[in-house]
Amino acid sequence: MSRLPEAVVVGGGLAGVAAAVAVARAGLRTLHLAPKGPPDRRTSALMGPSVDYLRASSLIGDPSSLGHPLTQIRIIDATDRLIRAPETLFDSKDAGLEAFGWNFPNIKLLEAFEVAGAALPNLETRELSLSGIDRGSDGWILTLSDGTVIETPFVVGSDGKKSLVRVATVFRAREHGFTQSALVCDLELGRPLGGASVEFHYEQGPFTLVPAGGSRANLVWIDDREVLKAAQASGPEGLRETFLKKSQRLFGDIKLLTPTHMFLLSTLTVERAGMDGIVLAGEAAHAFPPIGAQGLNLGLRDVADLAASLAAADRSVPHWAQAVSADYAARRADDLERTGGMVDALFRSLLSDFLPAQALRAGGLWALRLLPPLRKQAFGLGMGNR
Ligand SMILES: Cc1cc2nc3c(=O)[nH]c(=O)nc-3n(C[C@H](O)[C@H](O)[C@H](O)COP(=O)(O)OP(=O)(O)OC[C@H]3O[C@@H](n4cnc5c(N)ncnc54)[C@H](O)[C@@H]3O)c2cc1C
């Protein structure tokens, strides 16, 4: 890039690459800082509206070439509590849909996004990190990990939960850590899940099997960190026994297909997602436990709103970057608050030992089971419909 970039996008995760593509497509000379990290072994359940966005913005083609449809959500209360919820099955047909969404390996999504980015002549990607960011006379001065210093009017911080862009600049965030973590791996089941994502709700968190095609499933198990560490230490045979027990042997024998990976869980919310020529997207702006598959769905809505803010901007005026960041913050405010609040309430209600909270949760699931209009509303909320 011979001239100074009009925008710098920081972070090479899924939100970062999608944001870099969106910013470059809006016509800005864009520098993308995307240091190579270890491969992201997670999968993402993306709801219908997110998949529609990915297709409309040519980030992916046919979803069936990358992932597997999610047609049902089955919730099994596996707790020993006094007030237990009924087993509940949500079917996409009840919402008038072929599928709620799709389950994609993150590695495949990232590859597809990178292909879309490589086709854009005004997008330059460097495998460098941001090591410092300071206010300049006309924007932000960025120091890169190779010592290069550049100035730009507009910065997108999509550098994950510990975002340097967020902590070193103007943003205020609230963070809360949990004693739980999430353990993920790929499994082969004796009996296939079909299109059903099956959640066993235990006192310390859900044990979820997500369909990954054929007899394969992706496991997301949330539990106390020490319990997960002990399970990991028990080796493949110990893990297999634990998984059989946790899945109540409903799906026959279980074979581990990949090693397990652990992720620390926390919530993070920012007061505003954009100001002073900087916007935050993805986990730089919001993080929460993987309950109800919301994280990346919300991150992609960040990117969609970033594209809308840039499309509406007049970049011929001075301080256009400040105007874009203010517009973005306004567009994102409701969705961030609503989604963050919903996931937090859901997670806490799952873990709560408080009897009225258990009664509310069980009563809520009964109501969703019995009342189609309420169920439709809940589907819409979970899918991120605006
Ligand atoms: C177990 C688990 C399961 C999940 N399942 C789902 C699901 O089913 N559906 C869903 O919607 N969401 C899900 N999520 C959430 C989803 O995975 C995340 O929201 C999403 O991956 C976050 O992407 P990101 O790009 O914002 O952050 P990250 O993937 O963390 O990427 C941040 C990037 O920034 C880079 N970076 C950091 N610092 C710097 C720097 N100084 N300079 C340059 N680059 C930097 C990092 O190297 C990294 O590449 C799940 C999360 C977990 C933990």
| Domain range annotation of the chain | 7-46+106-175+268-352, 63-104+176-264+356-382
Name the closest-CA residue to atom 29, ligand 1.
13
**Residues 207, 84: contact at Cβ < 8 Å?**
no
Is 282 close to ligand 1, i.e. is its CB under 6 Å away? yes
Kind of pairing between the strands at 196-202 and 43-47: unpaired
DSSP 355: H
Is 285 close to ligand 1, i.e. is its CB under 6 Å away? no
Instruction: Give the tens place of pLDDT for each residue, 310-364.
Output: 999 999 999 999 999 999 999 999 999 988 888 777 777 666 565 555 555 565 6
Residues 271 and 299: their CA atoms lie apart, in Å, by 16
Instruction: Give the tens place of pLDDT for each residue, 247-291.
Output: 999 999 999 999 999 999 999 999 999 999 999 999 999 998 888
DSSP 57: T
DSSP 137: T
**Residues 128, 63: contact at Cβ < 8 Å?**
no
Taking the CA of residue 128 as reference, the ligand 1 atom at the shortest distance is 43
Q: Which residue has the tokens 């840039």?
A: 310
**Crossing angle for the helix pair 14-25 and 106-118, to the nearest 10 degrees:** 20
Name the closest-CA residue to atom 43, ligand 1.
129
Probe target for ligand 1 pocket from 32, 126, 296, 346, with the most ligand atoms within 8 Å of CB: 296
Q: Which residue has the tokens 């235990």?
A: 202
pLDDT confidence of residue 294: 84
Residues 124 and 24: their CA atoms lie apart, in Å, by 9
Name the closest-CA residue to atom 32, ligand 1.
160
3-state DSSP call for residue 40?
coil
Residues 45 and 63: their CA atoms lie apart, in Å, by 12
Distance, CA 8 to ligand 1 centroid (Å)?
Answer: 18
Confidence check: pLDDT of 205 > 70:
yes
Is 129 close to ligand 1, i.e. is its CB under 6 Å away? yes
Name the closest-CA residue to atom 26, ligand 1.
282
Taking the CA of residue 161 as reference, the ligand 1 atom at the shortest distance is 30
Residue type, 46: L
- Determine what percent of the chain is predicted with pLDDT higher than 90: 74
**CATH superfamily placement of domain 7-46+106-175+268-352:** FAD/NAD(P)-binding domain (3.50.50.60)
Is 31 close to ligand 1, i.e. is its CB under 6 Å away? no
Confidence check: pLDDT of 372 > 80:
no
**Residues 211, 196: contact at Cβ < 8 Å?**
yes
Is 158 close to ligand 1, i.e. is its CB under 6 Å away? yes
User: Which alpha helices (H) appear in the chain, and where do they start and end?
Assistant: 14-25, 48-56, 106-118, 164-167, 225-233, 235-246, 295-312, 320-351, 355-370, 372-382
Which tokens in the block code for residue 316?
Answer: 């011929």
Mean pLDDT across the chain = 90
Confidence check: pLDDT of 191 > 90:
yes
**Count of beta carbons in the 10 Å neighbourhood of residue 131:** 14
**Count of beta carbons in the 10 Å neighbourhood of residue 234:** 13
**Residues 7, 313: contact at Cβ < 8 Å?**
no
Same-fold call for 7-46+106-175+268-352 versus 63-104+176-264+356-382? no
- CATH for the 63-104+176-264+356-382 domain, from 3.40.640.10, 3.30.9.10, 3.40.800.10, 1.10.730.10: 3.30.9.10
Is 290 close to ligand 1, i.e. is its CB under 6 Å away? yes
Q: Quick one: pLDDT band at residue 365, thresholds 50, 70, 90?
A: low
**Residues 291, 343: contact at Cβ < 8 Å?**
yes
Taking the CA of residue 131 as reference, the ligand 1 atom at the shortest distance is 41
Is 283 close to ligand 1, i.e. is its CB under 6 Å away? yes
Which tokens in the block code for residue 43?
Answer: 């999968």
Is 13 close to ligand 1, i.e. is its CB under 6 Å away? yes
